[in-house]
């Protein structure tokens, strides 16, 4: 089971008060110490659009000194991808939306333009793409539910992807349900057998984050994004709350007997620290349960039955 930690990028980007670069680097180091090896450390994008990540080069430079870390970097277009590679990025995650309205709002271009840009980047010998994120694959904050045919059409247009390029279907708003997740992955996997690596990125807006992860797992997905402490919320998706908490995903899979390679105790401790950052959205359930000050066995008996 492979968990991709996206908190240092997706979790930090909507926070308005500036987070010191040293704090970001320390968080990444703590996540690495907890056993998470693949971490989305930052994004190379417009500092005007997302000022919180304007220190991307400095964060990436610090990450280069962390042994055992696979530092993933999100990019929205070829220009920023080249900036990231010039700064030393070796694992790029390219993102655009299936929904026209969200793509125009998020990366300021049509879906067709993003597809063409992505294909141009793929054709370049310098490209180091490890993932394609298809945002709003299930729901759009502006247009509502996204039909599976729209996702399949985009994948059709992309043509043959390199074998190392993972495709991640993203529930950007957190409105997806388990049946929708299971169905879309099943359709996409059947239609595109040449894509051998699939991933799922979800938000927990309606409390279905881990349920949707499990639905993706049942369809054959083995790579899951999570954000420490349930941090996050797309700044261009009104109403979307945090990502599914990494510790919730780890707890679920470990309880199922599926190893994640993660030290849950260290992960929860790191989550407790990041949720204290001013402006951070706090989410997830496992962190709260495991850090409760008094176990249930020590609580006084009120005489009321527990239901």
Which residues does the annotation mark as catalytic? Answer: 234
256/221 Cα distance (integer angstroms): 15
43/109 Cα distance (integer angstroms): 18
Sequence-distant (6+) residues with CB within 8 A of 108 are: none
Sequence-distant (6+) residues with CB within 8 A of 170 are: 133, 134, 135, 136, 137, 138, 200, 201, 202
Q: Give 176-180 contacts, CB < 8 A, sequence gap 24+.
A: 176/138, 176/139, 176/202, 176/208, 176/212, 177/208, 177/211, 177/212, 178/208, 178/211, 178/212, 178/214, 178/215, 179/215, 180/138
Angle at 278 between CA 230 and CA 286, to 5 degrees: 25
Report the length, in residues, of the chain.
307
As given in the structure block, the two tokens for residue 26 are 């320390």
DSSP one-letter code for 129: E
What number of CA atoms fall less than 13 Å from residue 251's CA on the CB side? 21
* Nearest in space to 223 (alpha carbons), one of 195, 255, 190: 195
* Nearest in space to 162 (alpha carbons), one of 89, 94, 80: 94
**Residue 3 in contact with residue 247, Cβ under 8 Å?**
no
**Residue 93 in contact with residue 70, Cβ under 8 Å?**
no
Q: Is 4 helix (H, G, I), strand (E, B) or coil?
A: strand
């Amino acid at each position: 089971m492979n968990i991709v930690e996206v908190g240092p990028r997706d979790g930090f980007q909507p926070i308005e008060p500036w987070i010191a670069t040293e704090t970001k680097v320390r968080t990444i180091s703590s996540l690495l110490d907890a056993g998470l090896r693949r971490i989305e450390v930052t994004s190379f994008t417009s500092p005007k659009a997302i000022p919180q990540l304007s220190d991307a080069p400095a964060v990436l430079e610090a990450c280069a000194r962390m042994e055992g870390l696979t530092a993933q970097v999100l990019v929205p277009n070829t220009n920023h991808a080249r900036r990231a590679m010039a700064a030393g990025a070796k694992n790029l995650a390219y993102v655009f939306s299936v929904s026209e309205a969200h793509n125009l709002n998020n990366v300021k271009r049509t879906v067709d333009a993003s597809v063409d840009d992505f294909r141009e980047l793929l054709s370049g010998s310098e490209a180091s793409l490890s993932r394609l994120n298809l945002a709003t694959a299930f729901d759009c904050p502006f247009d509502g539910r996204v039909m599976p045919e729209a996702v399949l059409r985009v994948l059709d247009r992309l043509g043959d992807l390199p074998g190392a390029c993972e495709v991640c279907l993203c529930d950007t708003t957190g409105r997806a349900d388990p049946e929708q997740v299971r169905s879309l992955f099943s359709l996409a996997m059947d239609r595109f057998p040449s894509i051998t690596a699939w991933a799922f990125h979800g938000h927990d807006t309606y409390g279905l984050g881990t349920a949707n992860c499990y639905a993706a797992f049942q369809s054959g997905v083995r790579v899951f994004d999570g954000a420490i402490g349930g941090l996050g919320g797309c700044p261009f998706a009104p109403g979307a709350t945090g990502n599914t908490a990494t510790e919730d995903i780890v707890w679920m899979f470990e309880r199922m007997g599926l190893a994640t390679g993660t030290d849950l105790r260290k992960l929860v401790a790191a989550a407790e620290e990041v949720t204290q950052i001013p402006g951070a959205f706090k989410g997830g359930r496992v962190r709260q349960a495991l850090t409760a000050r008094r176990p249930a066995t020590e609580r006084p008996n009120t005489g009321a039955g527990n239901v």
